[in-house]
Structure 1
Amino acid sequence: MTDEPRSGARAVDRAIEVLNCFDGDDPELSLSELAHMAGLPVSTTHRLAQALVRGRLLEQDSSNDRYRIGHGLASLARPALTRLGLDSAAPHLYALAAGIRITVSVGVVEQRDALTVFQARPPEWFCPNQVPRARQPLRASAVGHALLAFSPTSTIVEEHADQRDPRPVRPGGLHSHLDRVRRSGFASELIPTDDPIRSVAVPIVGPNRQVRGALAVQARSARLDDELVRRILPAMRTAAGRIAPLFQTASGPMDSAV
């Protein structure tokens, strides 16, 4: 690959491509990883990354030269969090996380994915298994199922059918599974890993039964067993009810099917 002539608009587009590389599970990336993921020459990526470091949108670890999101980007994100109502909702989410001793996350619909927009970690008992992926397929995640189940089911499942997801649809079909989620009031999904992880989600339903998002927890399935799920569900539902009037999605609320 060779560098193309630089222009203001093209440079901005490429800088955005570099920042978007961090929209995943890896908190730090090397220069070569950034270049590969962004599809840019290493020299171009280095120039852009250094400009982003100077602008505090990225940080570079001096011990290994790897890049990560900078504090400047977090500062720029604060108005968006305020607009979502998450600044007002945060105390309720941190109180829930401390009470159940599991990280609490909030997810919203973005195209065919459930996008994690906030996490509240407990002061103790935290482990990496409690951190959800930044994006999860709507039709193959507990957060996605909670969002879909309490939204208009006549069209929403087909609209969000994701051919990229390699996992098969559940026996009986997704419609049947979402019916069970509606009846139980929560979604549960087992994430297959060497040490399986369980995710549990409840809808955030605002005025007029409008679905605004989903509140979720996840942990090792050996810990987050049926007994613990039964114990924490009332607290999760209470917290979801408390933040629902405060919480606004950028794309507007989703109509409820119940």
Structure 2
Amino acid sequence: MSPDEPRSGARAVDRAIQVLNCFEGDDPELSVSELAHLADLPVSTVHRLAQALVRGRLLDQNPANDRYRIGHGLASLARPALARLGLESAAPHLYTLAAGIRITVSVSVVEDRDAVTVFQARPPVYFCPNQVPPVRQPLRASAVGHALLAPSPISTIAEEHAERRNSQRVRTGGLHTDLDRVRRTGFASELVPTDDPIRAIAVPIAGPDKRVRVALAVQARSARLDADLVRSIVPAMRATAGRIGPLFQTHGGPTDSAFELESR
């Protein structure tokens, strides 16, 4: 075996991961040229990798148009992770909530400085694309991020870093005010400014150890998800969060506080 072979093999794996990461989102179908553009790789390389991934059942090729989509093999590989997180046990509760409030319910976890959507339960009726959140949202600038951050132990950090916090008060004050509001009301709210504004609502999910590393969220057109509907569905969201919280397995460290995020 030549010294170059391990490096070449590792590079092929890295590129295959780049191709798979192109499918992050709402179950898209992508052509070879689209994959090449998204992965920033040559078309010939992407075609070779995609065919290997099809043979491995990690991708599927639609015979009607030759476009690629996530394969059943990848879903099978993901099942242990979903079970370990607790989503398999929580799923019936999430679908019941979605059917009751007639809005898609999403579950997000912390990954670095982002909230990452890992599960969606769609309602049997009244679904529309506005209910699908971005796969990744910044912790400090989204409803689901604020729901994840609000319960974090910022009081201890404030005492330990008082001087540094004072020097950054102007920069972090708005975020801390938002998190205080989440702690008072029990939910986070965000208005996404688009041509047809979208409102997102999120509540924290406390695990068996009482730490919050998971959040439950919904979003819809703000014309529909108005103040009256928010008041109506938040109790149901919080009740579901309370029921499924004990199902989520303890993993990782505590969510970073707002001050820690701002200080990085």
- The TM-score range, normalised by the shorter chain, is 0.7 to 0.9
Kept in 2, the 8 Å contact 1:212–1:248? The answer is: no
Residue 54 of structure 1, CA deviation: 1.6
Deviation at residue 98 of structure 1 after TM alignment: 0.9
Q: Structure 1 residues 75 and 67 mapped into 2: Cα distance closer, same or farther (>3 Å)?
A: same
The residue correspondences of 1:103-252 to structure 2 (distance < 5 A) are 103-153=104-154, 173-248=174-249, 250-252=251-253
What are the superposed Cα offsets for residues 183-241 of structure 1, whole Å, 9 maximum, x if unpaired? 11100111122211111000001345311311101111111100001011111001000
Preserved contact between residue 213 and residue 249 of structure 1 (Cα < 8 Å) = no
Q: By how many angstroms is 1:91 displaced? A: 0.9
> Is residue 54 from structure 1 mapped to residue 61 from structure 2 by the alignment?
no
Q: Deviation string for 1:96-154 (max 9, x for gaps)?
A: 11111111111110001101111111111111111111111111111001101111236
CA apart distance, 1:170: 9.7
TM-score, normalisation: structure 1: 0.86
What is the distance in 2 between the residues matched to 1:84 and 1:120? Answer: 16
TM-score by length of 2: 0.84
User: Are 2:208 and 2:249, in contact at CA under 8 Å, matched by a contact in 1?
Assistant: no
1:7 aligns with 2:1: no
**1:44 aligns to 2:45 (yes or no):** yes
Percent identity over paired residues: 80
Pair 256,43 (structure 1): closer, same or farther in 2 beyond 3 Å = closer
The DSSP-based 3-state class of the residue aligned with 2:134 is: coil
1:252 Cα deviation after fit: 4.5
1:33 maps onto 2:34 in alignment: yes
| Contact persistence 2:208–2:247 (CA under 8 A) | no
Unaligned runs of 5+ in 2: 159-169, 259-264
Q: Does 1:71 align with 2:69?
A: no
Amino acid across the alignment from 1:21 = C
Contact 2:25/2:134 (<8 A) preserved: yes
Secondary structure in structure 2 of the residue aligned to 1:132: coil
String of CA shifts for 1:156-202, please: whole Å, max 9, x gaps. 9xxxxxxxxxxxx9995211111111111100111122211111000
Q: Once the 2 structures are TM-superposed, how far is the Cα of residue 242 of structure 1 from its aligned partner?
A: 0.5
For residues 253 and 139 of structure 1, the distance between their equivalents in structure 2, rounded to whole angstroms, comes to 16
SS in 2 for 1:180: helix
By percentage of residues, which structure has more helix?
Answer: 2
Q: Which amino acid is 2:10 matched to?
A: A
**Greater radius of gyration (CA):** 2
The more displaced of 34-43 and 21-30 is 21-30
RMSD: 2.5
The residue identity in structure 2 corresponding to 1:129 is: N
Distance in 2, matches of 1:253 and 1:209, equals 10
Over residues 68-87 of structure 1, what are the superposed CA-to-partner deviations in whole Å (9 max), with x where a residue is unaligned? 21111111100000000111
| Secondary structure of the corresponding residue to residue 99 of structure 1 | helix
Q: Post-superposition shift, 1:58?
A: 1.1
Q: Which residue number in structure 2 is paired with residue 18 of structure 1?
A: 19
Decide which moves more: 43-52 or 64-73: 64-73
**Tell me, what secondary structure is at the counterpart of 2:15?**
helix
Conserved 8 A contact 2:107-2:120:
yes
